[in-house]
Structure 1
């Protein structure tokens, strides 16, 4: 095999051959490709004017090794270097290319929390409002009563109670065994620091202040000379719901209907007894729903049932419902025969085979039967519908009139059962405990069934 004789070339061809052997031909050609495929040293070569291939290869050969080292952390840019400075590629950064970077919040810094209200000042303010209201010897107006209740409602006691509860949770977490093991090194220092702190004077608890505000509002509403109007009742329910103290709501709702009305006669105040069964003494549905929601939110079953008995189960509410929803349909039913007789008389004029009196009788009987049967079927379908029922249903054989009258009571008990029971549908009926068993018996006495097997999913 013959070998080509060696010819002495220039130093340029020798260095080019050496670079091709080391990096390969593709590496030298890749210098003309976009700079994304190269590292930072070769990007400079791309952005610079075109240069011979041997210069690019030699530059990559001499600078590729330092690129393998770890990059040094760059110091954060100063405002002088950012504003109007040139980039390392000698291009002036424009406002359109630059993007605003979000400010990074320091890990060590924390946002300042709102300062907890001074409990002593709150207590003093509530005492002043209560004493000033009780000192009035006349019958207070509705505006004066609302002003006193709103003055008590302006205090942010609930916020202080939540803050203290969070502090207790943090302290309980620190007392756990894991926290104790993690903080062994600093236990001595903490104990030494705590020993130097003088014993703090006993302070008011937020729960006590909340109770005091609730008792002050109750004292204002139950004062003998105060007339509980719907506006006063709504304000009181809103205040107790905000404080999370629904225990007194059933009593005040019952007092709204039965409290004697004060009257000024000859310079002295006399009290006129009130009939709690009047239709006008019924509590509005919005106020009743707000009181019920407050009791459910506080997880107080006794207060929730008490609100139910004072609102939807009272005789005043039933009479109010009859007047508002039953008078018009009953009037239409009473007038219906007369209207049907007039219609039958007009239909008899179209008959030529029978005399007029006989035709009127036949037409009236036919129209009356059609309207009566159709209306009866529609009423039965409306009274026996159970699409709105979730867990509480009517017992078999309950009269339709009873179902219509006490539908709001059943819906309220259904809401209570769903709030105090399991939320999963497949666990309905598995609740245990004395309170829930009492609730089942309470519903049975009112012709209601909790979690009827026949109406449960998959059983009907």
Structure 2
């Protein structure tokens, strides 16, 4: 219908058209900005552990602005909708795009798993890498907002309580019909991420799959991208202890492995990536599990001894021999003493000098604490223990700084069961969290 209005100022008459749809008037919304805050957390559902899903909570905050400007100059921006009084979408607020298509992702994952199951015998490393990379290519992010999204596309997501109860969207609600809660884009993204994460976990936990260092690296990067570090401790444990399948006389047999062997140590770069993923996800349990299966494992310590301790040990062993040969040559350059006595004097002086200097340097290197922030070694800890477990101490220091207060003057004020457990765990590893004598102003 048309309604005639007279303008208070001299000029032509103004005509406004109002369209009535289902008993409601479509009016121009005031200039409001809306901000939606959603917090959600969903744990990975795996066969080896079950977790409770935290409820998803959402709260909307609306800030009003002045509407004194001419409304005729306010044009709705593309890709933006708002919620009107009766739940109808109107162009004013930011439009939240729908989450990824769960059905399409599930179909893609099922195709990859079906193709991987079709392989006969023991899958090769290349086949496993191809399956993992195919799963990793699945995009679990919500689609970007485009100008093609119209306000009415978001109407089912932005229905108000009055519209849900009274059925003002043009369809009368039937008696006894249950109101189905609409899942938010964040929840749908989490469901898709869980589907992809479970598929990758299912591939690596199959008995016939051999977990190599390349496969482990791809898996850790995938779970870090998805924000799902819950399965990383078990996969890191399987990397060192999973039985190796072998084809013998047409049948598959499994050979046990020694998890403490140096060849089964996790690469430090992969361990660092896994630890960063657990810290970013704020999962203390996963972070400690990753620590115990990487830096604290016997395989990692033996690998460190072979890579970083072999050459220094060889140098320490060969130094006396080299000094004795040098002393013998020096004894031939003098005529005051007999060559035998001169060799002994030169050897004793050189070995004392080298030994004293090397000892001072070794003590200064092993007792340096400039790299320590919160976790330090306890008094009386042997130097060999400090050198072997330095990576573990650095990882615990990083965990404590990430889960505790960021302000330096508030170190040691953390409370809660998890942080108290972390403090006791660090103490059991011959370390101290927030030693008082090393705090600023106490030394």
Taking structure 2 as the reference length, the TM-score comes to 0.71
Match of 1:453 among 424, 431, 436: 436
- The equivalent of 1:125 in structure 2 is 108
Change (3 A) 1:458 1:208: same
Superposed, 1:306-455 pairs within 5 Å as 306-455=289-438
CA contact (8 A) 1:280 1:316 kept: yes
Give the superposition deviation at 1:358. 0.8
**Pair 1:138-2:106 in alignment:** no
CA contact (8 A) 1:234 1:287 kept: yes
- The equivalent of 2:76 in structure 1 is 108
The 3-state SS of whatever aligns with 1:157 is coil
Whole-angstrom CA distance in 2 between matches of 1:368 and 1:428: 46
Whole-angstrom CA distance in 2 between matches of 1:188 and 1:416: 48
Q: Which range is displaced more, 411-420 or 209-218?
A: 209-218
Structure having the higher helix fraction is: 1
Question: How many residue pairs were aligned?
Answer: 337
Whole-angstrom CA distance in 2 between matches of 1:265 and 1:155: 37
- The equivalent of 1:227 in structure 2 is 210
Change (3 A) 1:209 1:197: farther
Whole-angstrom CA distance in 2 between matches of 1:444 and 1:197: 65
Give the superposition deviation at 1:331. 0.6
Q: Which runs of 5+ in 1 are unaligned?
A: 1-104, 162-169, 181-185
- The equivalent of 1:243 in structure 2 is 226
Whole-angstrom CA distance in 1 between matches of 2:172 and 2:374: 57
Whole-angstrom CA distance in 2 between matches of 1:220 and 1:321: 30
Whole-angstrom CA distance in 2 between matches of 1:267 and 1:301: 45
CA contact (8 A) 1:246 1:298 kept: yes
Larger RCO, structure (CA 8 Å, separation 6 or more): 2
Structure having the higher strand fraction is: 2
Whole-angstrom CA distance in 1 between matches of 2:336 and 2:414: 71
Change (3 A) 1:192 1:201: closer
- The equivalent of 1:212 in structure 2 is 195
Taking structure 1 as the reference length, the TM-score comes to 0.68
Residues 67-113 of structure 1, C-alpha deviation per residue, up to 9 Å, x if partnerless? xxxxxxxxxxxxxxxxxxxxxxxxxxxxxxxxxxxxxx986223588
Q: Which range is displaced more, 415-424 or 186-195?
A: 186-195
Whole-angstrom CA distance in 2 between matches of 1:423 and 1:242: 25
Change (3 A) 1:348 1:298: same
Give the superposition deviation at 1:140. 0.7
CA contact (8 A) 1:160 1:206 kept: no
Q: Which runs of 5+ in 2 are unaligned?
A: 1-72, 81-95, 145-153, 174-178
Whole-angstrom CA distance in 2 between matches of 1:106 and 1:142: 60
